Amino acid sequence: MQTPNAIRSEKAIDRWPALPLEAWKDTCDTLHLWTQIIGKVRMALTPFVNHWWHVSLYVTPRGLTTSSIPYHHGSSFSITFDFINHNLSILTSDGTSKTLPLIPRSVAAFYREFMACLRSLGIEVTINPWPCEVQHPIRLDEDEIHASYDPVYAYRFWLILVQTVDILQQYRSQFLGKSSPIHFFWGSFDLALTFFSGRRAPPRPDADRVTQEAYSHEVISCGFWPGDEHFPMPAFYSYTVPTPTGLEKASILPSTASYLPQLGEFVLRYDDMRSAASPEEELLKFYRSTYQAGATLTHWDREALERR
């Protein structure tokens, strides 16, 4: 006979579906590059916001969106991935729209069809065709290698993002200082929320301009990513920059979480979280305890920054 905890755990696993990277790696890689095409359009047309917040995407009740992108003469448009009906929609403030089905096709074919849709709506934009933060990059308009789309795993990925956003909203509610939106970065292909102490961080003279801007101030950041070649499994993460001495020895929750020196981050493996009797509580403990460890060791003014 199953115990009550085992039954609750099974129900939790239903809410948090399996997402083994090896099962959907081709789709993950292709979708990563598709989101880069969309994100680069937003980056090209949207005014700059500190820490590159003007380039990110946002989780919606159906997928991922750019939100409103300004265009000529006061008009605007948005681009949205729908992972329920599996299409890409472009909506304009002029009342026109275009829809592109999400089906297996190469990155180059997706690029051509998407750009043709924009032009048919009177939107002309030029983007840098080279992908960011990927190994062995191929020009987006020439990539015929990545051409997979599994709707089941695309849906699972989105479902995890939706539920993680809910937890991050709870976690953010206690913080009174400057914080980022809960947003999705198409370069690193991860969901992120960042808290700021209010103090500037030491300069990074050898870093590229993206990294210099992203970490110009002290931060504690957390989120979710599906894994990659270096860490081939989905996981929740948390890191503090600049990294304080002793962070790797800090006591955090839950017991299944750990500090990975090669990443410089605390990590809670997704499969460990989803198999817990209460995954949501496990994840909230992870985010809160790793924040407390980083904020304490770096001497943030927690009295001023936190809601008591």
Q: What is the pLDDT along the chain (308 residues), one digit of tens a residue?
A: 444 454 455 566 678 999 999 999 999 999 999 999 999 999 999 999 999 999 999 999 999 999 999 998 889 999 999 999 999 999 999 999 999 999 999 999 999 999 999 999 999 999 999 999 999 999 999 999 999 999 999 999 999 999 999 999 999 999 999 999 999 999 999 999 999 999 999 988 788 888 898 889 999 999 999 999 889 999 999 999 999 999 999 999 999 999 999 989 999 999 999 999 999 999 999 999 999 999 999 999 999 999 98
pTM across the whole model: 0.94
- What does the domain layout of the chain look like in residue ranges? 18-120, 151-305
Distance of CA 189 to the CA centre of its chain: 5
Phi and psi at residue 198, in whole multiples of 5°?
100, -10
Q: At what angle do helices 279-297 and 151-172 cross, to 10 degrees?
A: 50
Residue 204 gets the label, from left (phi > 0), alpha (psi -120 to 50) or beta, of beta
Write the CA distances from 69 to 6, 41, 54, 76, 80, integer angstroms: 47, 9, 10, 5, 12
